Amino acid sequence: MTTIPRNQHLLSIQQLNNDQIYQLLSLAKRMEIPEERPSFSGRFAANLFLEPSTRTKTSFHMAERKLGFDVVELAGMDSSLTKGESLQDTLKTLAAVGVDLAVVRQSQVGGLRGCMDGLDMKLINAGDGCGEHPTQSLLDLYTIYEQFQTFKELHVCIAGDVKHSRVARSNAYALRQLGAKVSFVSKPQWQDPSMAGVYIPMDEAVESCDVLMLLRIQHERHSTYEKTGGYLEAFGLTQEREARMMDHSIILHPAPVNRGVEIDSALVECDKSRIFRQMTNGVTMRMAIIEAVMKGEL
């Protein structure tokens, strides 16, 4: 059985150097032009999502269809994982029946790393628990680059449930590697010592950051339900705080957005917000990622 080289999957943002990231940004720009897109007609992609998803799952489906793939959609309840089959055997089954690319979301940090040996199929990590979300990070980078045309010396503040956020982890790593300054805003119990960085008050962040990246509370990863009363006033983006942001600053959020919790509802679609632009860019960037993975260019 053929085994795909480990570096030809996309499992972590940490496997990419700066040149590869800029290559993907350039490729994503090209994907905006339909005539520039490659065709993978006759190839099969499977989206296996074992945790809930709207944006990531739908944008991968759209990206795959725009590139000509036949698409197989699978959820946990649709697969033999419910019968005790291992994730590795599920993926080997998909490869055995002719699937060329599997996009997988699952809850175990690093859970795909043990599934690659003997696997003749490309893999993309669509989120692994609290671990990483490399494709979300890349579409966020694309959205930032679209605005500023650089990362060097930008101040990006990531605000919210940092400890439980795979988005925060992937973005903090990539942004620092690209030369940005990264700070955090978070409740003390949601701070993560493994992500070295300065924690600052939200009132300081809004006046100094070029990019404010908001995160939702990851209720599904807490042992008890976190109360949200008073969160917006203490740690969220209110209209008063938004008014103090610099004119060129932008607001990002990986979504789903909890309006009135991490951000005032009126600000979700304000002039500084790029929240829905991120979703549009998600399709474009995921087309670029798929092309690079399928052609072994990572």
**Binding site per annotation, positions for carbamoyl phosphate:** 55-56, 105, 133, 136, 255-256
Q: How far apart are CA 210 and CA 295, in angstroms?
A: 35
* Angle made by CA atoms 26, 292, 18, in degrees to the nearest 5: 55
Residues in the chain: 298
Query: Residue 26 belongs to what H/E stretch?
Result: helix 18-31
Residue 192 phi/psi, 5° resolution? -120, 105
DSSP letter string over 211-270?
Answer: EEEE----GGGSSSPPP-TTHHHHHSB-HHHHHTS-TT-EEE--S---BTTTB-GGGTTS
**Binding-site residue positions for L-aspartate:** 83, 166, 216
- Chain centroid to Cα 272, Å, comes to 20
Contact 31, 57 (CB under 8 A): no
- Please enumerate, by residue number, every residue annotated as part of a binding site: 55-56, 83, 105, 133, 136, 166, 216, 255-256
- Record the tokens describing residue 275, joined without a space: 């929240």
Contacts of 217 (CB under 8 A, 6+ apart): 160, 161, 226, 228, 231, 258, 261, 262
CB atoms within 10 A of CB 297: 12
